[in-house]
């Protein structure tokens, strides 16, 4: 396999603080808080699953929080965002109501999908999140269709599809690239390249580790970015989104990252024959997007260690209150089982 990502895929690189020159301190604090909220929400879901309190599998994106948070800095509630099977962060970056996510994953009627969808069937159209599904690449063509609808409605709203490096091995993704380009659809393709599809490393699946080569093949403007640098993610995606809103057609952003947990649930997947080691995981944790932003803000005197402790404690308390509320919420009644199937 060609290592076209070069140092971006090297877990021993990019451990230093990030550049936050000319950044607004208040905005960075909000970004930091949102990433931490998403992190702690997913860690609570991992614990709930481990303790047998969640009935179905949960696909966690701990370590990847900078992607959804950075992208969402440039989105509106009228944009049309589509997720995949690992989409807690995609939704929470638009609507940080972790109580409703807990309720949904626990199958309670107060959840985002009224307890009918669980972890992989999330929906919150008022915030711009049009849905996630467990079918790999199942929402990509829908996002292109939504983008084309926005264009036909004479708005400058855009479609957004979150796609993993494994999903680009599905034919519908390439059909969607082609159609979006031909139709000049206002569409942003977000490639979350965490180097693994389920349990298989990208070196075992593709001839190159750089997924954005498919943007080149379809003449789609693209950017290749460190996905654990939230400021870089926000900046690069803004440049693409500005052009998309201006009617220049689709764009693609490839964000190199790593998930701390394995494919599903709380396990790290280092003992199931996967090309994944504890050393790699620890090195990637040193590239933690939350830690890197926090260190940079402290260095710039925008943030203090004490403020960090207070924020951690605050979110921990809120998480526990929300989890207990969701645990005590009622399940949907049996008479609504088929009510939302075709709605």
Average pLDDT over residues 191-213: 95
Average pLDDT over residues 10-35: 96
Average pLDDT over residues 57-80: 98
240 inside domain: yes
268 inside domain: yes
Q: Which H or E element spans position 189?
A: strand 187-193
pLDDT for 87? 98
User: pTM to 2 decimals?
Assistant: 0.96
155 inside domain: yes
* Dist. CA 292–CA 183, nearest whole Å: 39
pLDDT-derived band at 161, boundaries 50, 70, 90: very high
pLDDT for 273? 66
- Cα distances from 276 to residues 184, 260, 279, in angstroms, run 40, 11, 8
Contact 36, 310 (CB under 8 A): no
pLDDT in tens, 171-199: 999 999 999 999 999 999 999 999 999 88
50 inside domain: yes
207 inside domain: yes
Residues with Cβ within 8 Å of 297's Cβ and at least 6 positions away in sequence, in order, are: 20, 25, 28, 29, 32, 303
DSSP annotation string for 197-264: ETTEEGGGT-SBS-TTHHHHHTT--EEEEETT-HHHHHHHHHHHHHHHHTT---EEEEEE---SS-SS
* Dist. CA 259–CA 133, nearest whole Å: 19
142 inside domain: yes
| Residue with token string 């390249």 | 193
**CATH code of the domain in which 249 resides:** 3.40.50.970
pLDDT in tens, 92-135: 999 999 999 999 999 999 999 999 999 999 999 999 999 999 99
Burial of 283 (0-12, 13-18, 19+ CB in 10 A): middle
pLDDT for 191? 98
Tell me the pairing of strands 251-256 and 159-164: unpaired
338 inside domain: no
341 inside domain: no
> What token pair was written down for 219?
């003449």
* Dist. CA 197–CA 44, nearest whole Å: 24
* Dist. CA 11–CA 283, nearest whole Å: 5
pLDDT in tens, 212-234: 999 999 999 999 999 999 999 99
Q: Into how many domains does the chain fold?
A: 1
Percent of the chain with pLDDT over 90: 91
Domain that holds residue 89: 6-327
Identify which has the larger pLDDT, 277 or 34. Answer: 34
């Amino acid at each position: 396999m060609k290592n076209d990502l070069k140092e971006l895929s090297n877990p021993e690189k990019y451990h230093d603080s990030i550049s936050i020159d000319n950044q607004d301190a208040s905005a960075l604090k909000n970004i930091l808080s949102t990433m931490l909220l998403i992190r702690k929400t997913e860690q609570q879901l991992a614990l709930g699953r481990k303790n047998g309190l969640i009935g179905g599998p949960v696909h966690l994106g701990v370590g990847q929080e900078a992607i959804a948070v950075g992208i969402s800095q440039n989105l509106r509630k009228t944009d049309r965002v589509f997720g995949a099977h690992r989409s807690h962060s995609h939704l929470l970056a638009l609507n940080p109501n972790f109580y409703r996510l807990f309720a949904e994953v626990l199958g309670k009627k107060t959840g985002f999908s009224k307890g009918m969808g669980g972890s992989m069937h999330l929906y919150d159209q008022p915030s711009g999140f049009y849905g996630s599904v467990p079918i790999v690449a199942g929402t990509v063509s829908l996002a292109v269709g939504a983008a084309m609808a926005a264009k036909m409605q004479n708005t400058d709203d855009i479609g957004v599809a979150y796609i993993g490096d494994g999903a680009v091995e599905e034919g519908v993704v390439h059909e969607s690239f082609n159609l979006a380009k031909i139709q000049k659809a206002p569409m942003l393709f977000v490639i979350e390249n965490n180097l693994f599809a389920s349990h298989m490393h990208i070196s075992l699946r593709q001839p190159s580790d750089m997924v954005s080569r498919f943007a080149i093949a379809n003449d789609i403007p693209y950017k290749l970015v460190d996905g654990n640098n939230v400021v870089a993610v926000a900046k690069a995606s803004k440049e693409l989104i500005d052009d998309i809103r201006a009617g220049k057609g689709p764009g693609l952003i490839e964000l190199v990252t790593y998930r701390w947990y394995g494919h599903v649930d709380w396990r790290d997947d280092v003992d199931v024959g996967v090309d994944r080691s504890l050393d790699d995981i620890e090195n990637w944790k040193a590239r933690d997007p939350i830690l890197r932003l926090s260190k940079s803000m402290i260095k710039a005197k925008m943030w203090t260690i004490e403020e960090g402790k207070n924020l951690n404690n605050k979110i921990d308390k809120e998480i526990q209150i929300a989890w207990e509320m969701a645990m005590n919420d009622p399940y949907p009644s049996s008479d609504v089982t088929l009510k939302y199937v075709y709605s």
